Amino acid sequence: MSTEKKSMMDKILEKVDVIAGPMTKFGQIPFVRGIVNGMVAALPVTMVGSLFLVVYLFCSDGGLTTKALIPFLKPWAGDLSLVNSLSMGIMAIYIIIAFGAEYAEIKGINKTTGAVGAFFAFMLLNYNSVGQLVVTAKDGTLSAGASAFESTYWGGAGLITAMIAGAIAINIIDICYKKHIVIKLPDSVPPAISDSFSAIIPYFFITLICWGIRTLAGLNIPELVGQMLLPVLGAADNIFVYTLQQFLSALLWICGLHGDNITGAVINVFTNQWIADNNTAYMAGTLVKDLPYVWTPNLCRLSQWVSSCWPILVDISHILGNLITVIFDYQILRKPLKILSL
């Protein structure tokens, strides 16, 4: 029997293993995997939108400074902010499509069928008609314009609704496929057409459920979710919860587990909504120092990711330094080596 005394590091790793097991299992749940993969797939859109927002800050008066830092871009400031509105402002649209495709693939369903079904469910649960828009002419007269849908909950505020819609849609499709409640066409029919007809009945059930919830029952899912999560959202955005998440993520990486994916399955839901809320508040005229949230995905990248890269960069610089030394030494020794190789 070994009586070797365990080090403090060994004791810490044992505790981490106890936590890592359940968290890893949680991360492998199909629904959670679909959420994580869907958010990662939609991340480039939000990053591009954030990039255009940064450029907008530099070329607009009152952005980062009183006067625009890049004045020659001021005429295009509105166009730059439009790109941000069409990315960050409706990020739930991109996430529900990506989530539907990823979750469907995990369930063994055609990705296109899953993406379209999830998006359809999201729109059925999340529509708010504003009727006809009012158009103001140059002379000041008002007239009725085109009808429109309100996009308030198509951004960060609609992320939870997107997950609910995706879960409803993909699981209904999965049940219908497993129970063979589909329109079956002959094998000679091209797969694209066959898959399209197979989705008709599942989509019909998706419509009944989501339309019934939003229209017949009159439930506004985004508002209900917002009311329930408001205390949680306000309490979680602090240095203590942030430090705990970063600490757990780093410990999981030490154990060879993907810490960001495991903790991100829970955290990303909130931080993605927070960055969207900050974006909305800023575009509405809120000063940077008065934005509602501090903890966003960008903060994680600037703290954990950058701090993790510095040791690697130092190692690379050492390797390059040694390589340069070897190259110059080789240039000096090349002639004697040629003689010896004869």
In this prediction, residues 78-92 reach a mean pLDDT of 82
In sequence order, the 6+-apart residues with CB closer than 8 A to the CB of 315 are none
In this prediction, residues 279-301 reach a mean pLDDT of 75
pLDDT digits (tens, 9 = 90+) for 162-184: 889 999 999 999 999 999 999 98
Q: Quote the mean pLDDT of the chain.
A: 76
For residues 260 and 125, give the distance between their C-alpha atoms in angstroms, rounded to a whole number: 30
- Which pLDDT belongs to residue 289? 73
Measured in whole angstroms, the distance separating CA 163 from the mean position of its chain's CA atoms is 12
For residues 51 and 195, give the distance between their C-alpha atoms in angstroms, rounded to a whole number: 38
Task: Identify the sign of the CA torsion 25, 269, 30, 249.
Answer: negative
In this prediction, residues 81-87 reach a mean pLDDT of 83
Neighbour-count burial of 39, counting CB atoms closer than 10 A to its CB (0-12 exposed, 13-18 middle, 19+ buried): buried
Instruction: Please determine, for residue 201, whether its predicted confidence score (pLDDT) is greater than 80.
Output: yes
Residue type, 255: C
pTM over the 0.85 mark: no
Q: What is the residue extent of each domain of the chain?
A: 8-128+149-295, 298-342
Measured in whole angstroms, the distance separating CA 104 from the mean position of its chain's CA atoms is 18
In this prediction, residues 59-75 reach a mean pLDDT of 72
- Which pLDDT belongs to residue 279? 77
Instruction: Please determine, for residue 71, whether its predicted confidence score (pLDDT) is greater than 60.
Output: yes
Residue type, 144: A
CA angle 84, 270, 65 (to 5 degrees): 40
> Is 132 or 55 the better-scoring residue by pLDDT?
55
In this prediction, residues 156-166 reach a mean pLDDT of 84
Residue type, 117: G
For residues 99 and 119, give the distance between their C-alpha atoms in angstroms, rounded to a whole number: 9
Residue type, 196: S
N-terminal to C-terminal alpha carbon distance within the chain: 62
